[in-house]
Amino acid sequence: MTRYSAAPIHFGAAFLFSLGMGIALSAAAQAQEASAERGAYVFHASGCETCHTDSAHKGEMLAGGRALKTPFGTFYTPNITPDPTYGIGKWSEQDFIRAVREGVAPDGSQYFPAFPYTSYTKMSDGDVRDLYAYVKTLPPVAKPSKPHDVGFPFNVRLGVVVWKWLNFTPGPLPPVNTRSAAAADETWMRGRYLVEALGHCAECHTPRDRLGGLKTSLWMAGSDDGAEGESAPNITPDPQTGIGEWSDDDIAFALKIGMTPDGDSLGSLMAEVVEHGTSKLTDEDLAAMAAYLKALPPIVNKPGKPAAK
Amino acid sequence: MQFRAKPIAVFSALMTLMVAFCLSAGGASAQTAEAAAKERQAVMKSFGDWSKTLAASAKSGTADAATAKAADDISAGMQKLPALFPAGSGLDKLPGSTRAKPEIWANFDKFQGYAKDGQAAFTQVATAAKSGDGAAVTAAFTKAAAVCSACHKEFRGPEIK
């Protein structure tokens, strides 16, 4: 917070400026026809199905209702099937892009950042349009979304505006490596895009401050408050507390089949991330994700609370 | 009829015996639960070790005798698994000693189903390894690992810190 306090007006101006510059579709992307087929791949890489389907209660695909327990309250994911009444059937492509990349609903209201638009804002023009094209092909489900169970002050949607001002950097990824000294080669760039934008890995694997902003100094170093109230492990290359002992192949293979090099299954939500997401990605993309993770600066951090009784 | 003189003494002796039996039975069953938890952890640990071998084979597409043996060993272990989960040995009864969720006993048929699926899936890995087809090993192990994942996701609680 302190880093912005010196020049809040300038920061605000920069925010609005980047919103206008970074988020508008480029002319090139608009010229290309969106493809539902490519969108299916983006859909898997982005892990939409895992959160927007209440699989524990046999909910229909993307009909929402899954409970996301966070330290701020319980969020219920909304119905994002193409149903015109209860889903996103009436949304234009522009509505969809604004929701995914800016966290703003078609009626202008703010989405809570439980929806990881903080990551999806980095999604490319082509990918977000393909994603829209794909989601529109899925079966509509006429089921109302469930209201969130979140206490004051986090239930004030207008507060999200302030939260975004503090914690949301809209727009695409920079063309250089700002995370480490590693070269921003093609594989690394693809890996960063998959991990940071689509995969939104940091949303669980990076710890948050009291207001729910990511502590970027502990990027991917694990969090006590991961999904489902469980801790999320450190995935930086620290050999003791992270996954430094894993080879690139080990990482790619774990994302493909859901098993660690120790022969253990990946835990809780990660099993679903693999099932609905990373297991469907190409070997090249998994290798790129591994290359990105291995190039991160190693951070010593062991998340995890004592077992609950 | 000669006992009719002191029925109360007989009754109290019987009660003492019964209470003693119940206590010892109760103690034994808690011990059994602890022992079962320890034993199944050892079994899971060996599953993990064999899976390491299998993961290496699956990554490289290797079909050899060591791969077949590891898969057969896990398959055999799967058969014995449900018996190592006696009622009352979940994390609700033994907090800090086991990650087994109480849902296991509420859905024991399903739990057993996973063990059966696991047994079949690892038999497939062994079959693939014996046939010498490395690509088949990779495919079969991917399926088997998904069974491990599915059951762990549903029935295994958080890591014990």
What are B51-107's pLDDT values in tens digits? 999 999 999 999 999 999 999 999 999 999 999 999 999 999 999 999 999 999 999
Number of Cβ within a 10 Å radius of residue A247: 13
Q: Averaged over A252-257, what is the pLDDT? A: 96
Note which residues in 70-89 of chain B have CB less than 8 A from chain A.
none
Q: What ipTM was predicted for this assembly? A: 0.75
Q: In this complex, is the C-beta atom of B49 within 8 Å of any C-beta atom belonging to chain A? A: yes
**The pair of three-digit structure tokens given for residue B97, joined into one six-digit string:** 């000693």
Q: In this complex, is the C-beta atom of B160 within 8 Å of any C-beta atom belonging to chain A? A: yes
Specify the pTM: 0.83
Q: What is the pLDDT of residues B91-120, one digit of tens each?
A: 999 999 999 999 999 999 999 999 999 999
Contact indicator for A250, B133 with CB cutoff of 8 Å? no
Q: In this complex, is the C-beta atom of A272 within 8 Å of any C-beta atom belonging to chain B? A: yes
Q: In this complex, is the C-beta atom of A22 within 8 Å of any C-beta atom belonging to chain B? A: no
pLDDT-derived band at A21, boundaries 50, 70, 90: very low
pLDDT attached to residue B82: 96
- Does B149 sit within 8 Å of A265, measured CB to CB? yes
Closest by CA to A116, choosing from A16, A19, A227, is A227
Q: Which amino acid is at A257?
A: I
